[in-house]
Amino acid sequence: MDVRALIREEVLAQRAYPVETTPCRIKLDANENPLAIPPRLRERFAKLLASIDLNRYPEAGSVALASRFAAAFGVKADQVIIGNGSDELIQILCAALARPGAEVIIPVPTFAMYRISALNSGLRVAAVPLDKEFDLDLPALQEQLAAHPPALTFLAWPNNPTGNCFSRERIEAILKAASGIVVVDEAYFHFSGKTFLPEIDRYENLVILRTLSKVGLAAMRIGLLIGPPVLVHELHKVRLPYNLNALSQAAAGFYLDQEEAFLQQAAQIRGWRGELFSALAALPGIHPRPTDANFIFFSCDFDADRVYKHLMERGILIKNFNSLGTMRGYMRITVGTREENQEFLDALRDIIEK
Ligand SMILES: Cc1ncc(COP(=O)(O)O)c(C=O)c1O
């Protein structure tokens, strides 16, 4: 039997989401928080997890948790749905909105999962290149919106991998022009401090995504969607009944109880980001782009593959975009601890001086 003949063409044509698995000493490739939960909280966290009845299903739909996050966001409980990472919420949105022939608009380059989830749901993807400053190309987007009104538009704010926030006015213009849902993905909110949350009741088509992955709980897979109640109601039908496991639900509650500690870490990372940016900018042939996230996108005048390989040999893993035609010469480094950043800078200096 030819199993491949049974699989949808869009799936066959894809490559699985690339995750680098090479062991490394210093991991700066996945935009994680480099810091563990503060030692003074670790025991309390361990006790909380140990108290969970693992023989029982978790609360279906994480309803209690959604209410707590809604209160924290200043919205109503029926405006929030929690996912197994924001990845799952992207998948749920795509699955719910994939009517026959429906389209998704994504500016490119951007976060890979928008395209992957859209294609897997049978949606058509219209990719609109960013302008030279990595901002939204508003005329091109408006043309696309008018020619093929999409069911969904994904805007990562700040954008991954470029690191910048698109200009607010352009996003507002898209919110006004789009008849479909516009997702403003604020995965890096803790490092940008910018949000569309106060606009949530102003635009019927606005959906905001948040995650706890970048602020310290990537392993727990906790994503949040804030949107109009009528949409959230439908999305609940698409999610799996127990999409968020009991340990993750408890971890999300713990985050809310101890948010200050996590926010302090984010502030520390923002400080390290500034230092890393200045040091990169001072290196000859290295051109970091302005960033509002916990990573820095930079181009280098040297062979990026060689730089990447040499860093790997020194046990330092970053993300290399060189093989993607439009991003030749570009790499992305997650902001690590001050010591990790220093090791990276020392290694980079050695490589480019060779
Ligand atoms: C823009 C953006 N959105 C969403 C995600 C996924 O986050 P999560 O870990 O919550 O699935 C990422 C992860 O890198 C991201 O860059």
The percentage of the chain sitting over the pLDDT mark of 90, rounded to a whole number, equals: 93
Q: Are strands 124-129 and 80-84 parallel, antiparallel or unpaired?
A: unpaired
Specify whether 50 is located in the same domain as 183: yes
The predicted model scores a pTM of: 0.97
Specify whether 80 is located in the same domain as 144: yes
Distances (CA, A) of 174 to 50, 240, 264, 321: 47, 31, 34, 28
pLDDT of 310? 94
Looking at 231, 258, 285, the residue that finishes a domain is 258
Q: Give the mutation target among 81, 110, 117, 211 for probing the ligand 1 site: most ligand atoms within 8 A of CB.
A: 211
Q: Whose CA is nearest to atom 7 of ligand 1?
A: 86
Specify whether 87 is located in the same domain as 209: yes
Specify whether 204 is located in the same domain as 290: no
How many distinct structural domains can be found in the chain? Answer: 2
Supply the CATH number for residue 322's domain: 3.90.1150.10
Task: Grade residue 354 by pLDDT with cuts at 50, 70 and 90.
Answer: confident
- The parent domain of residue 313 ranges over 20-37+261-353
Task: Grade residue 16 by pLDDT with cuts at 50, 70 and 90.
Answer: confident
Look at residues 112, 93, 111 and name the one whose alpha carbon lies nearest to residue 102: 93
8 part of a folded domain: no
The percentage of the chain sitting over the pLDDT mark of 70, rounded to a whole number, equals: 100
Specify whether 106 is located in the same domain as 88: yes
C-alpha span between 85 and 348 (Å, rounded): 33
Supply the CATH number for residue 218's domain: 3.40.640.10
pLDDT of 20? 80
211 part of a folded domain: yes
Joined tokens for residue 67: 């209410």
Task: Grade residue 52 by pLDDT with cuts at 50, 70 and 90.
Answer: very high
pLDDT of 31? 97
The rounded Cα 238 to chain-centroid distance in angstroms is 21
159 alpha carbon to ligand 1 midpoint, in Å? Answer: 10
C-alpha span between 126 and 124 (Å, rounded): 7
C-alpha span between 130 and 122 (Å, rounded): 24
pLDDT of 248? 98
Looking at 222, 241, 258, the residue that finishes a domain is 258
- What integer is the mean pLDDT of 318-341? 93
Specify whether 176 is located in the same domain as 49: yes
Specify whether 169 is located in the same domain as 303: no
Looking at 233, 258, 283, the residue that finishes a domain is 258
Distances (CA, A) of 289 to 11, 23, 163, 276, 296: 34, 28, 7, 12, 7
Angle between helices 63-73 and 246-257 (to 10 degrees): 30
Specify whether 285 is located in the same domain as 273: yes
Ligand 1 pocket: which residues have CB below 6 Å? 31, 85-87, 111, 156, 160, 185, 187, 211, 213, 218, 223
Specify whether 121 is located in the same domain as 266: no
- What integer is the mean pLDDT of 269-281? 98
Specify whether 349 is located in the same domain as 273: yes
